[in-house]
Amino acid sequence: MPKALVASDLDRTLIYSSAALALTMPDARAPRLLCVEVHENKPLSYMTETAAALLTELGDIAHFVPTTTRTRKQYQRINLPGPAPAYAICANGGHLLVDGVSDPDWHAHVKERLASECASLDEVREHLERTADPLWARKHRIAEDLFAYLVVERELLPEEWVKNLAVWAENRGWTVSLQGRKIYAVPKPLTKSAAVREVARRTGAVLTLAAGDSLLDADLLLVADRGWRPGHGELAEADWTAPAITALPERGVMAGERILREFVGASAGRGQV
């Protein structure tokens, strides 16, 4: 039988920054960690050593597909344990990497959809620049010429501004997601789920498993046969669930370990392609 396809978000799902580690537990009970990302000579992201062993096992028995909103450059900083994934999804589905290289036909297909189904990136960028207060909006960024995001000071960020932005974006075919210190504005046609369906088609997988913590992961979870979300993040805060979704109690880096344990258990015994 064919291998299962396992599509998982990375940040705050499988890997955790130093700030995100605070979600886990007191220092005295913290598990042993493995650094999986270094940037500018500084360790940036971690997973538990147990999670690293589980991911290595998973890579041998399933098609593991990292599925992230990160740009290609940001994704390529990560050094995950286990076999190198044959497929990876970056920029929220805007780029489908095959052996590390973006598939040009897939990217062209995505760009065509964006041009016809939602407001332009320029319109959204201009709105963010006009309405975001420099008091709390520290950086304005454009990712892969596909979507925009702000780096903000969360303690100064007005909740009402985020709600108003979400309404404004919804009317133009865009989605707003608040994750840590970042506010994302992403076109609705730009989805992880569409790219995952394409990988399933190419691999012949008949079972799709998924995990994610943010609003931008909801479509990914819904397209999967089984999905898991951690006890933290946008989806947990909204108490979001669906029939095939398991809401885990674990938070932080221990949720990443639990998710990988669930992936391995659900994938085991499906044999090789």
Per-residue pLDDT of the chain in tens (273 residues, 90 and over written 9): 789 999 999 999 999 998 888 776 666 677 899 999 999 999 999 999 999 999 999 999 999 999 999 999 999 999 999 999 999 999 999 999 999 999 999 999 999 999 999 999 999 999 999 999 999 999 999 999 999 999 999 999 999 999 999 999 999 999 999 988 999 999 999 999 999 999 999 999 999 999 999 999 999 999 999 999 999 999 999 999 999 999 999 999 999 999 999 999 999 964 332
The CA-CA-CA angle for residues 252, 223, 10, to 5°, reads: 30
Rounded to two decimals, what is the model's pTM? Answer: 0.93
- Tell me the torsion sign for CA atoms 240, 166, 45, 53: positive
Residue indicated by tokens 């050593």: 49
Task: Give the residue from 200, 219, 190 showing the smallest Cα distance to 90.
Answer: 190
Helix (H), strand (E) at residue 133: none
| Domain identity same for 81 and 200 | yes
Pick the last residue of a domain from 152, 187, 222.
187
| Domain identity same for 195 and 178 | no
Task: Give the residue from 227, 208, 256, 203 showing the smallest Cα distance to 53.
Answer: 256
pLDDT score recorded for residue 66: 98
Pick the last residue of a domain from 166, 187, 208.
187
| Domain identity same for 142 and 206 | no
| Domain identity same for 132 and 217 | no
Strand order across the beta sheet in which 62-66 lies: 62-66, 4-8, 208-211, 226-229, 245-247
Pick the last residue of a domain from 187, 221, 240.
187
E-strand spans in 16-169?
16-17, 33-39, 42-48, 62-66, 87-90, 95-98, 101-102, 137-143, 147-152
> For residue 215, what are its two tokens?
């609003």
| Domain identity same for 201 and 258 | yes
